[in-house]
Amino acid sequence: MSAVPDAAATGPEPVAPAPPAARTTHLVALDIDGTLLTQDSGMSAAVRDAVAAVRDAGHHVVLASGRSLTAMTSVADMLGIGTGWMVCSNGSVTVRLDPALPAGWELDQVVTFDPEPALRLLRAELPDGRYAVEDIGVGFRMNALFPEGELDGEHRVVDFEQLWSREVTRVVVRSPEHTPDDFSAMAARIGLDDVTYAVGWTAWMDLAPRGVTKASGLERLRDRLGVAPAATVAVGDGRNDIDMLRWAGRGVAMGDADDVVRDAADEVTGTVEEDGAAAVLRSLLR
């Protein structure tokens, strides 16, 4: 009969190593212009590589822009993003990307509004302004042509009244003779209570349905993807990014953002020329 080994002689049983900690999956929302793209629409290899690395690590990278769908698909192509989600038109349009689809994308959610009341108010203040409404996946109807390169897709000039012939996702107002401060003061003066508006770097204003912002579109995706609120990251540089930066668990303003945008963020990274967005993305891989 063989003897039973003495536990004291053999020592304690080895302890199995602890399983590795579960990796946190982040939702990373990225503005485009001034964040990923420079003023001349260039994109650095550092940004492309960082986006690819974060996606390869299993995180959700979501482009979130005031741009229309037609203007965002080319950026997704530049980044090699063929699957996933985009929040377009400042939150009014959410798109699912899938190369198996005929167009490479499908509309997931579209929020519209009646632009007539706001357009009437604005035209009374800016009779010579340029106004455009978005036709999803096609382009814009406008009362006059915009400066070249400012809007993508097909451009169709129509009578002013035809701009409200049906509900729309987005209205763009442009008046090169005015400043952003002029626009902000005008919006406060006339009252645009039935819409959400954002003023850009130039005399440019985007109108969206009331309560609709990049943040509202992203929150819907966050819940759908099962990402914890604390595991959300947003990077942007403009006034239309403020709600998104406040929404994120980690809101990051670009280095050349103005003070209002910086105040809405948790931290500030480098400028677009310094690949500030790439530095934020790389931090998620450490």
In a shared domain, residues 127 and 163: yes
pLDDT for res 204: 84
Q: Look at residues 242, 257, 232 and name the one whose alpha carbon lies nearest to residue 196.
A: 242
- Separation in Å, CA 73 to CA 59, 148, 185, 217: 20, 19, 34, 17
Do residues 152 and 222 both lie within one domain?
no
Q: Do 199 and 225 fall within a single domain?
A: no
Give pLDDT, residue 201.
Answer: 64
Number of domains in the chain: 2
Per-residue confidence (pLDDT) for residue 95, from 0 to 100: 98
- 32 lies in a domain? yes
Q: Which of 209, 240, 256 is the last residue of a domain?
A: 209
177 & 94 share domain: no
Sheet of strand 27-30: strand arrangement: 105-110, 93-97, 84-88, 60-64, 27-30, 232-236, 250-253, 267-268
What domain range includes position 238? 27-111+212-283
Q: Is residue 264 a part of any domain in this protein?
A: yes
* Helix (H/G/I), strand (E/B), else coil: 265: coil
Residue 234 has a pLDDT of 98
Q: Identify whether residues 121 and 204 lie together within a single domain.
A: yes
44-62: b (≥16 Cβ within 10 Å) or e: beebeebbeebbeeebbbb
Are 218 and 227 spatial neighbours (Cβ–Cβ below 8 Å)?
no
pLDDT for 196 = 85
Which of 165, 190, 209 terminates a domain? The answer is 209
pLDDT tens track, the chain, 286 positions:
434 344 444 444 554 443 444 579 999 999 999 999 998 889 999 999 999 999 999 999 999 999 999 999 999 999 999 999 999 999 999 999 999 999 999 999 999 999 999 999 999 999 999 999 999 999 999 999 998 888 889 999 999 999 999 999 999 999 878 887 888 888 888 888 778 877 776 678 899 999 999 999 999 999 999 999 999 999 999 999 999 999 999 999 999 999 999 999 999 999 999 999 999 999 999 8
Euclidean distance between CA atoms 275 and 117, whole angstroms: 41
Is residue 7 a part of any domain in this protein? no
Residue 32 maps to which CATH number? 3.40.50.1000
Q: Are residues 151 and 279 in the same domain?
A: no
201 and 219 in a single domain? The answer is no
Q: What is the DSSP letter of 241?
A: G
- From 175, 192, 209, the end of a domain falls on 209
What pTM was estimated for this model as a whole? 0.88
Q: Which long-range contacts (CB under 8 A, 24 or more apart) does 149-156 make?
A: 150/174, 151/68, 151/71, 152/67, 152/68, 152/70, 152/71, 153/68, 153/70, 153/71
What separation, in Å, do the N-terminal and C-terminal C-alpha atoms of the chain show?
A: 56
By the 8 A CB rule, do 173 and 160 touch?
Answer: no
